[in-house]
Structure 1
């Protein structure tokens, strides 16, 4: 939410537009262009305010106790329908301000609810959707998560946004002394989770053995030494999980990237492939940029067939290795690890691709990648975005080169947070 104080913009978490509140500044450097704050008291509440779904993330409760709320559920105090209305408003406003979209697709976009199970309308009330969670550990050996933009740790018991398979591990009951971080992946298929433990400096591996004694024996486990850049060593079970999406199978390691909402993979694949319907055909040349573990690569390969070709590009080495394992027996797929702009310089060129799936991180594709795609001029780009502002900025550059926004859908894949996912179809000038 946005407030203003003596001409300075203040971004205020845990409020609702129209409310009168008291807010405590959390980031207020004198030279900063804007400040940040948390709501600590509601004087005039919005009719859309409700009891927070997660006490550890409730700003009012946390500040009353002299602490900070855990990050990751900053919309948990807002009625679910109003959350989606606010997100749609943000998407529309960014498209209008940064891309000049004042009519047609995007101008009247709504945020679609996503059910937890196929063939149902049950969205779980915005809870129990998260299949991957990252936890820290307090100095006292308790399970914790970070406060927003802070090194402060908040001990947690139960994570209401997580799928039941993660909460069933009851990690908060374990003595986690010697462990720095825990990454948990619970496949949407319902198979046993995988937990990756990062050991503290100088901690003996036997400490992990003691921790694992308190976990269900069906849970796979991997260990990582202190510091970054080391591949996890499998300690028990398998060091990866198998994900299934619309008939395609993927191998994903514990530190590899995968969509965190249990229905996100099939929702985004379905929307992107529907957008490209009529563009793809057997023999097509396509690219999957920022491909991760190859979520879109697999359906693209099926669409173009053995006579076609899919260039799958991912920057993260570990995630790129996951994709190589998945597609090692498919010669029509080339998995390349590296920065997208550098790979396009080698493999691009005018007419190199008939279609592109573009799924960048929150920062967006950026000017250089957009310029390269404009030069390559595929017939269509399916742009999957997790940040409305960066997407609208990139869209503005495409539009400036004569491209058209043909369709746009928005999905509530991160309930109880401000994040929203969009899938757009962009077409080159005829």
Structure 2
């Protein structure tokens, strides 16, 4: 009798298999099949044979699970550098060699672009820095009185191991300090920013440092809230700014938009190139910082969808850096009507990027170039920068 034969349908906690692990899928898991049913399996590598401990059987068409035992291992499998990598929800790929992590992400980007936008992409995922110690922004839960992180798809807390989170910037607070600060946080989530100065806040409490920090990108200094949005990879602001400028090739006197502009990272780069910049940012605190960080720019505070009519009627270049859900049809339709000579789309989700590129294609624009950057090593996340021009 095989391991997956049950008198009734198995449920969470049951072990099924063995199964052959198929391709990687968007979301940090691989696809396997069990008696015709799709299994989304975490901590697997394509080509392996594994048994799977089920974690979610609530869907009729697919189940979710985690590798229970590796029967035939991939040559790309390694021992995770973190002892809680299998339970913490922060990292998906610590069990895979860094080079193969980028290959898996390349496959995901290529599959999403082809399936959702009809684009054949033969690019690569560009390495940025080292795979550990890169994350300058961390958010810890403190409800247990200790600093911890959430389990995958769960509210359960994983306490930080000795030595701390392996992808966190090691120049930040050590584990003992984090646990002390967690007790002061009183159950509030605790945000850590490794910047100038190193700061920790929990709600309205400043536990270390200050409420805001300074970030220098090239020759521009930007102020950002300690618990506000900033690219978590310490090298990301420089890498993305360079990629955007290389794509757009801004010219002095042009009119440019920085949409979903945050605290003004790309607006500052465009302003330094003597572009007249209009930025739009929904978060009021971020918009306030953007107005101070880039005093020559016009910053509109509010949801972009509500301010589409307020955009200039003549625009040369656009930076579009939407949230994970993408820009959406309404925004893309309005931007295509502006007939900018070039649009640079910065995307943290390849599926959302592909959907929006498909809409741009329907409106007379095409993706001339798509670059992918491994700005989230050890996780399934990836950042793409697409240059979109009139077809």
Give the TM-score taking structure 2 as reference length: 0.87
Per-residue deviation at 1:30?
Answer: 4.1
Show the counterpart of 1:119: none
Match of 1:164, SS state, is coil
> Contact (CA 8 Å) 1:256, 1:322: kept in 2 or not?
no
- The alpha-carbon distance between structure 1 residues 85 and 237, as it changes in their structure 2 partners (threshold 3 A), is closer
Match of 1:57, SS state, is coil
Per-residue deviation at 1:318?
Answer: 2.0
Match of 2:53, SS state, is strand
Task: For 1:26 and 1:348, locate their aligned partners in 2 and report how far apart those are by CA, in whole Å.
Answer: 50
Task: For 2:347 and 2:337, locate their aligned partners in 1 and report how far apart those are by CA, in whole Å.
Answer: 21
Show the counterpart of 1:46: 74
Show the counterpart of 1:180: 188
Show the counterpart of 2:277: 310
Show the counterpart of 1:390: 352
> Contact (CA 8 Å) 2:291, 2:299: kept in 1 or not?
yes
Describe the superposition over 1:278-305 as per-residue Cα deviations: whole angstroms up to 9, x where unpaired. xx212111100111111101011111x2
Describe the superposition over 1:317-372 as per-residue Cα deviations: whole angstroms up to 9, x where unpaired. 22222212313xx2x301111111221122254xx311100111111111111111
- The alpha-carbon distance between structure 1 residues 176 and 420, as it changes in their structure 2 partners (threshold 3 A), is closer
2:297 maps to 1:333: yes
Per-residue deviation at 1:111?
Answer: 0.5
Tell me which of 32, 43, 46 is aligned to 1:14: 43
Q: Which runs of 5+ in 1 are unaligned?
A: 59-68, 116-122, 198-223, 225-231
Describe the superposition over 1:175-221 as per-residue Cα deviations: whole angstroms up to 9, x where unpaired. 7443332110002xxx3311012xxxxxxxxxxxxxxxxxxxxxxxx
- The alpha-carbon distance between structure 1 residues 333 and 84, as it changes in their structure 2 partners (threshold 3 A), is same
Per-residue deviation at 1:247?
Answer: 0.8
**Runs of 4+ that moved beyond 6 A:** none
- The alpha-carbon distance between structure 1 residues 374 and 301, as it changes in their structure 2 partners (threshold 3 A), is same
Per-residue deviation at 1:237?
Answer: 4.5
* Mapping 1:316-395, distance limit 5 Å: 316-327=283-294, 330=295, 332-349=296-313, 352-395=314-357
Show the counterpart of 2:139: 134
2:230 maps to 1:258: yes
Task: For 1:405 and 1:309, locate their aligned partners in 2 and report how far apart those are by CA, in whole Å.
Answer: 25
* Mapping 1:10-159, distance limit 5 Å: 10-31=39-60, 33-58=61-86, 69-102=87-120, 107-115=121-129, 123=130, 126-139=131-144, 141-157=145-161, 158-159=164-165
Describe the superposition over 1:9-39 as per-residue Cα deviations: whole angstroms up to 9, x where unpaired. 32211111111111122222145x5332111
RMSD (CA atoms):
1.7
Q: Which runs of 5+ in 2 are unaligned?
A: 1-29
- The alpha-carbon distance between structure 1 residues 39 and 348, as it changes in their structure 2 partners (threshold 3 A), is farther
- The alpha-carbon distance between structure 1 residues 192 and 175, as it changes in their structure 2 partners (threshold 3 A), is closer
Aligned residues: 358
Tell me which of 180, 190, 197 is aligned to 1:192: 197
- The alpha-carbon distance between structure 1 residues 241 and 402, as it changes in their structure 2 partners (threshold 3 A), is same
Give the TM-score taking structure 1 as reference length: 0.80
Deviates more, 1:285-294 or 1:3-12: 3-12
Describe the superposition over 1:157-178 as per-residue Cα deviations: whole angstroms up to 9, x where unpaired. 3111011122536335427443
